């Protein structure tokens, strides 16, 4: 379970008096769980240190913590740690480069190996899993606590789709089991993740009713600003609908295309077999082999993405 880099990271944490932790834009449970979970571990182990968490708040995930207001001067001589962020343009709060030393902790493909220390474990289910392993593997130098266990467990649950996704391994379950031994309610975490606003519930019904599924198992839907407006929804409200096409029989891979206020589209791509992250890379994005994000400038580019997914689906079916 251990990794020699874990000790290097803990040594750096011990060395610095100010530590600022960042994560990616548009945070999900793993981004916030790993960020705030690590902050909780450091604060308890080293109460004399100044520990900040940076980035925008996400109201729908407020149960996973809120961000700090950080003055620019705090970055002078500080250790900066970025969790769950594959590439630098996606880091929330661009001041992450202003610290004295930079550490990257992530589980996405390492296509942008930034940082003085770059810890990337693509076999891990989540960045929260990696941070829990650091805590459990470093001889009590960063001991687990109840608050951190809750946050890291939430991050693992979020990125494994409640332990349904292929990234869930025996190590993932071992880590989750260890975290559940601490004083928090795992069922409360699941309940909060399962609870959606009425507008998101209505939007979910629309997605399932309006989904286009072609004969090779590629599903897609465009959520225009007009459609979002009908439900009183915005881009951040669409996250819970992303897994829905995968619950429909015959769907192999899919795309949810969300129009942004500037007319471009955020593309959420998912798969149950074909490797889709190369498609995402060709369209200004990236991510995991079966879960990626991309961007499209217009509906023509969306059609290009769908055609590329169709080619992958056909190839995958021919070889499986």
**Which helix (DSSP H) or strand (DSSP E) does residue 11 occupy?**
helix 4-15
Q: Are 22 and 82 in contact (CB under 8 A)?
A: yes
pLDDT score recorded for residue 145: 98
Say what the pLDDT of residue 50 is.
98
Three-state SS across 72-141? HHHHCCCEEEEECCCCHHHECCHHHHHCCEEEEEECCCCCCCCCCEEEECCCCCCHHHHHHHHHHHCCCC
User: What's the rounded Cα separation, in Å, for the pair 296 and 255?
Assistant: 12
3-class state of residue 200 by DSSP = helix
Quick one: CA torsion of 249, 126, 241, 286, rounded to 10 degrees?
-90
Mind listing the domains of the chain with CATH numbers? 4-194 (3.90.1640.10), 198-319 (3.10.310.30)
CA distance 108 to 139: 27
Return the pLDDT at 188: 95
The pLDDT of residue 287: 86
Q: Give me the half-sphere count of Cα atoms (radius 13 Å) on the Cβ side of residue 247.
A: 12
Task: Provide the pLDDT for residue 1.
Answer: 56
Mean pLDDT by 10 residues, the chain (320 residues): 88 98 95 98 98 95 96 98 95 97 96 96 97 93 97 97 91 98 96 90 96 97 97 92 95 98 97 95 91 95 98 95
């Amino acid at each position: 379970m251990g990794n020699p880099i874990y000790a290097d990271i803990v040594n750096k944490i011990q060395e610095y008096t100010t530590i600022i932790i960042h994560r990616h834009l548009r945070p999900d449970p793993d981004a916030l769980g790993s960020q705030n979970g690590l902050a909780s571990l450091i604060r308890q182990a080293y109460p004399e240190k100044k520990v900040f968490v940076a980035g925008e708040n996400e109201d729908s995930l407020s149960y996973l913590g809120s961000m700090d207001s950080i003055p620019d001067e705090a970055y002078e001589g500080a250790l900066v740690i970025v969790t769950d962020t594959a590439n630098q343009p996606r880091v929330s709060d661009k001041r992450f480069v202003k610290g004295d030393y930079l550490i990257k902790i992530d589980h996405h493909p390492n296509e942008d190996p930034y940082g003085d220390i770059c810890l990337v474990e693509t076999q891990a289910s989540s960045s929260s899993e990696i941070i829990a392993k650091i805590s459990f593997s470093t001889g009590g130098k960063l001991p687990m606590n109840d608050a951190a266990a809750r946050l890291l467990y939430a991050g693992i649950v979020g990125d494994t789709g409640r332990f349904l996704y292929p990234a869930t391994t025996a190590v993932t379950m071992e880590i989750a089991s260890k975290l559940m031994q601490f004083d928090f309610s795992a069922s409360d975490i699941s309940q909060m993740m399962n609870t959606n606003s009425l507008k998101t519930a209505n939007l979910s019904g629309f997605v399932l009713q309006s989904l286009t599924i072609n004969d090779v198992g590629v599903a897609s839907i465009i959520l225009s600003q007009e459609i979002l407006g009908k439900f009183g929804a915005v881009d951040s409200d669409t996250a819970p609908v992303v897994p829905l096409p995968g619950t429909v029989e015959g769907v192999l891979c899919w795309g949810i295309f969300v129009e942004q206020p500037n007319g471009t589209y955020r593309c959420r791509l998912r798969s149950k077999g074909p490797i889709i992250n190369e498609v995402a890379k060709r369209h200004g994005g990236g991510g995991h082999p079966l879960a990626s994000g991309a961007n499209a400038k217009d509906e023509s580019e969306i059609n290009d993405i769908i055609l590329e997914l169709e080619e992958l689906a056909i190839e995958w079916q021919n070889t499986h």
